[in-house]
Structure 1
Amino acid sequence: MEYGILGLIILALDIYAIYSIMTSGASGGAKILWTLLVLLLPVIGLIIWFLAGPKGASASV
């Protein structure tokens, strides 16, 4: 049961990460690469995105 809840949390965080990537000021190619990283490696990709990914649209002002 705990793994189901953990899976839902990771899914929600991945969806948030993809949304944040798509609304960031990064180039189209960078958005595609970040999205693929998060989709193909959900946990590791999420951690890498959190540490080094493109920031939100409001942060690029």
Structure 2
Amino acid sequence: MSLVALALLLLAAAGCGTERSSVPSRAAGELPDQEVSDFTLTETDQGAPQWKLYARYAATYN
């Protein structure tokens, strides 16, 4: 196995984890302006679906 492939494998493995935060954190004390949970966003081009985004949580900060 080449050194580059080994490095990529180690980087990929380092990013794998079992514990995830259910809500991403933001600066202390700052609350989101809007929150959405369990949603699907569909991007279309002239009515034809191009891609879909499935997410458990999203927040906007204005």
What TM-score comes out, normalization by structure 1 length? 0.28
Pick the structure with more strand per residue.
2
What TM-score comes out, normalization by structure 2 length? 0.28
Q: Give 1 or 2 for the bigger CA radius of gyration.
A: 2
Larger RCO, structures 1/2 (Cα 8 Å, 6+ apart): 1
